[in-house]
Structure 1
Amino acid sequence: MAAVDPRVFRNYDIRALVPELVDEHSEFYAMLGDPKAFLAPLDTEGVTQIGRGLAGLFGAPKVYIGYDARLSGPAWARALAEGLTQQGVDVVLLGRCTTDTIYYVSGKYNLPGVEITASHSPKELNGMKMVRGGAQVIGMGSGMEELRDSVLAGRFPEAEREGHVEEQDILPEYVDHLMQFIDPEKVRPLRLVADAGNGVGGLPAHEIFRRIPQLKVTELFFEPDGHFPNHGPNPFEPENIVTLTEAVKREGADLGVAWDGDADRVFFVDETGKPIPGDFITALVARHFLQRFPGATIVYDIRASWVVPDWVKKMGGVPVSERVGHSFIKRTMRAHNAVFGGEVSGHYYFRDHFYADNGFIPMLAVLQMLSESGTSMSQLIASLGEYYISGEINSTVPDVQAVLDRIKERYADAKLDFRDGVTVEYPDWHFNVRPSANDPVIRLNLEAKSQQEMERRRDEVLAIIRGQA
């Protein structure tokens, strides 16, 4: 029996180095500095053991398995299926698919699912995102500890039967589900550039575009390739959207979109190639859904610009803030029956997608809004008003808690919120500082009523964070 390193079990998923792609002497491993604090290898024997543990945790007769474009995906899928079937669980292999496809089948059929993915991480990593029936995520505090402990102990009950494996093509059905979120006939013949980054986002995207034939689409890197030969699988890194922005300008496109490796996050640029922050997309998509569901609740993460609560209130909705992280956003959405939720990071959640995140519904909503407005994407964003944000700024610090304590002391006269790091709010400016989950890093997001004031306050807070004031 293969030993599984406990470090692969993380807050929201399983994440590990693929032994065939990286070892302790490789350039990638050395580049990480001291990766042993948070990364460990996982081979297919270990994946099988995790499958056996998941069988007990899920307690379900059938499990869906999908995988992204990573080179180790097919082998990991077979190994995971082996572990599940050893414990008497039937398996449906969906092949290559997006993470939100797994959320769909889990919610639709009330059965567990596993997407084998390392999301936006480099090609040397792989992992698993796991959900119980109803697309309810497995994480620390919601089953991950039990899974870890059972796998590390290596004690699994004897099964009365061996499960069987079948394959299914769920893509047409899944795209049917996505198309219910807009009226395709209202979409004008817009010109769009879409970058799948050699991940799996191109699979549903191509089918969506086929069903909206009036769109004029330039498809970039739609062929899944786990080598990610054209750019990295994280479009939120500026170097990974160079080709997209160039193509938008060259083609005279109305907008550009890009997905991360498993396509549960989506990134937008306007017709000039300018990146659009995730909270501004949240505000736009909130407007779209509040037109369809007047008075509904919208959940947004605590880092977001005032543009989100301002517009939710203007549209007659109820804005509710929550700490960063999908488990918190989804929990709060369920509690409030919220129709939509958004994070600055490009995760967008939908009640009618089983409260799960989805990388395609936001694109569809934006296409319809852009069509109905008759304006450009930059004008649509400008219609939200003037907001001055810093973007997320990371600082490596020797003592994270000392930084948080300095912030609390310095801004004790403000409205303070401690749900996620420290959130400080004054009438004309606000900010959030929160620690990274894995590194000695503090993340700052700040907003003020003018560009000059934003820059002044940003520099002021950064000086405190970095011990320079």
Structure 2
Amino acid sequence: MAFNWKSLQNGSDIRGVALEGIPNENVNLNEEVVAQLAKAFVLWLRKRSSSTQLKVAVGMDSRLSGPSLKKSFIESLAKQGADVLDCGLASTPAMFMTTVTEPYLADGGVMLTASHLPFNRNGLKFFTSKGGLEKADIAEILSYADAGEFEISSQTGSVEEVAFIDVYSNILADKIKTEVDDTANFDQPLAGFKIVLDAGNGAGGFYAYKVLEKLGADITGSQFLDPDGNFPNHIPNPEDEEAMASICQAVKANKADLGIIFDTDVDRAAIVDDEANPVNRNELIALSAAIINEEHPGSVVVTDSITSDGLGWFINDHLKAEHHRFKRGYKNVINESIRLNEDGKESWLAIETSGHAALKENYFLDDGAYLVTKILIKMAKLKKAGQRLTSLIEALPQPVESREFRIKIETDDFKTYGEQVIADLESFSASNKGWKILPNNYEGIRVSCEEGNEKGWFLLRLSLHDPVIPLNIESDVEGGVNAIADKLIEFFDIYKHLNFSVLKNR
């Protein structure tokens, strides 16, 4: 049976099962497969690069399968004649930076990671100096791997070990020093701050030592900084409730000024304030928008589709900027912000509620460490004025209730089935008293629920990759989520291939 290369595509990334150990999950990303993918990436680069000698930088996160897969990938690159920068343990944003940072200027950067997925998974993210590859690029690379038609190189490329995470850390540290601009304490602008970092045993521990502590911060209480691909403490994911509870507790126990949490490969982040309250999702978007709006007043903030009504008010009315609610998917949000700029509409921030945040000033790279760096600069400046960081978002309205329900589609053609459910919901919503279908939906259906016992909204959309239709409900009154959910149960009940027990058993 032929290998199914297409099964490795996960949007604009490649992901697969790299280790045995979980029932019903067969390994499909091994040394042989990644070696073929390396050949395919070289071919893809050669079709686009004017370089006579290709240079590719490769890094990995803390996953157990990382070292063996990276070794195989690098050996295959070199056999294809490409010179390789072996960056060892690195972050995803750092691997992009290898393509734009002198003297390295790699033609391509590759990160072996599967973000926050279980220990047995791994994957690859690809970059050029233009940014991360798109879905069509990944499909093309996989088609080359499937065809297996590669030129035999007349010479083997070189392999050089590079501690690029040190270079990347210095870029961030220098930015903080320069922009805080504390003449009296230029080299240690974070002196006097106690900052707790949770790296979730992923690749982000470097930020504690090479940025925070280096700049004078007290990092006592920082946790899970050592890389461990078993992820023994909690899922390295700022969206995970257990992970957020852990960093909040660490901030409280250590009476810290700030808590920081990264995902495995550091392209996402969230923070915790000095009162041990999480600042993530809508709050993180609001804080980021407030900081960017001071620098670029009135510009467009592009977000994903599940952001709250309160956030819309905060950006549009309070900040006097412009909120553009778009689709889920960090590449979708980034590409929309880029498109707006190309069309003459100034947009400096593209950010998802998941913690993916990309800034125009930083190549539109979704970089958790860079976002945190921006926040630290603002925090240091506010301290001089005797203000707290969260003073920037005191005006953000908070919903009384907010829930997400992931409704499973139990049929093979789940995409078509899900699309039909969403289309039918439009008619159902139009017939419900007090429900109003909101305009400018770029995915799914978003409905305002104006009845007194509801006072909120819901969004039903198709998952980007899974047989799931996520349902987000938010309300400004107690019991509002249940009131909206009860009406939706009546609608879902006619679909025999929907498993919405999570909604019924709430």
TM-score (norm 1): 0.87
| C-alpha displacement of 1:437 | 3.4
TM-score (norm 2): 0.81
Give the structure 2 partner of residue 315 of structure 1. 319
Q: Deviations over 1:202-236 (max 9, x none)?
A: 11342110243145542201111112222232342
Q: Are residues 97 and 465 of structure 1, via their aligned partners in 2, closer, same or farther at CA, if it must alter by over 3 Å? A: farther
Give the structure 2 partner of residue 63 of structure 1. 56
Give the structure 2 partner of residue 167 of structure 1. 161
Q: Percent identity?
A: 26
What does 1:35-50 correspond to in 2, within 5 Å?
35=25, 40-50=27-37
- In the TM superposition, structure 1's runs of 4+ consecutive aligned residues that sit over 6 Å from their partners are none
Q: Are residues 68 and 216 of structure 1, via their aligned partners in 2, closer, same or farther at CA, if it must alter by over 3 Å? A: closer
Give the structure 1 partner of residue 418 of structure 2. 400
| C-alpha displacement of 1:84 | 1.8
| C-alpha displacement of 1:14 | 1.1
Matched-pair contact (CA < 8 Å) for 1:254–1:376:
no
Q: Which stretch shifts more, 238-247 or 178-187?
A: 178-187
Q: How many residues align?
A: 453
The CA distance in 2 between the partners of 1:291 and 1:327, in whole Å, is 25
The CA distance in 2 between the partners of 1:332 and 1:205, in whole Å, is 33
Give the structure 2 partner of residue 414 of structure 1. 437
Give the structure 2 partner of residue 436 of structure 1. 463
Q: Deviations over 1:403-453 (max 9, x none)?
A: 313321122352344522223357864332112234332212233444554
The CA distance in 2 between the partners of 1:55 and 1:389, in whole Å, is 50
Q: Deviations over 1:140-199 (max 9, x none)?
A: 22x111111110111112334322211212233312332426527475733322111111
Residue 393 of structure 1 aligns to a residue whose secondary structure is strand
Q: Which stretch shifts more, 104-113 or 375-384?
A: 375-384
Q: Are residues 1:264 and 2:261 paired?
A: no
Residue 406 of structure 2 aligns to a residue whose secondary structure is strand
Q: Which stretch shifts more, 285-294 or 212-221?
A: 212-221
Q: Are residues 452 and 375 of structure 1, via their aligned partners in 2, closer, same or farther at CA, if it must alter by over 3 Å? A: farther
Residue 247 of structure 1 aligns to a residue whose secondary structure is helix
Among 487, 490, 496, the alignment partner of 1:460 is 487
Q: Are residues 1:445 and 2:449 paired?
A: no
| C-alpha displacement of 1:74 | 1.8
The CA distance in 2 between the partners of 1:264 and 1:426, in whole Å, is 35
Give the structure 2 partner of residue 423 of structure 1. 446
Q: Are residues 1:150 and 2:137 paired?
A: no
Letter paired with 1:424: V
Give the structure 1 partner of residue 433 of structure 2. none
What does 1:24-423 correspond to in 2, within 5 Å?
26=21, 28-30=22-24, 35=25, 40-59=27-46, 60=49, 61-108=54-101, 109=105, 111-135=107-131, 137-141=132-136, 143-179=137-173, 180=175, 182-183=179-180, 185=182, 189-313=192-316, 314-337=318-341, 338-371=347-380, 372=382, 374=386, 381-388=393-400, 390-398=402-410, 399-412=417-430, 413-423=436-446
The CA distance in 2 between the partners of 1:276 and 1:456, in whole Å, is 28
The CA distance in 1 between the partners of 2:440 and 2:38, in whole Å, is 40
Q: Which has the larger radius of gyration?
A: 2
The CA distance in 2 between the partners of 1:462 and 1:283, in whole Å, is 32
Aligned-pair Cα RMSD in Å = 2.8
Matched-pair contact (CA < 8 Å) for 1:433–1:442:
yes
The CA distance in 1 between the partners of 2:279 and 2:485, in whole Å, is 20
Q: Deviations over 1:356-387 (max 9, x none)?
A: 10111332333344451745566654432344
Extract unaligned runs of 5+ from structure 1. Answer: none
Q: Are residues 297 and 187 of structure 1, via their aligned partners in 2, closer, same or farther at CA, if it must alter by over 3 Å? A: farther
Letter paired with 1:295: G
Q: Are residues 1:9 and 2:6 paired?
A: no
The CA distance in 2 between the partners of 1:86 and 1:466, in whole Å, is 58
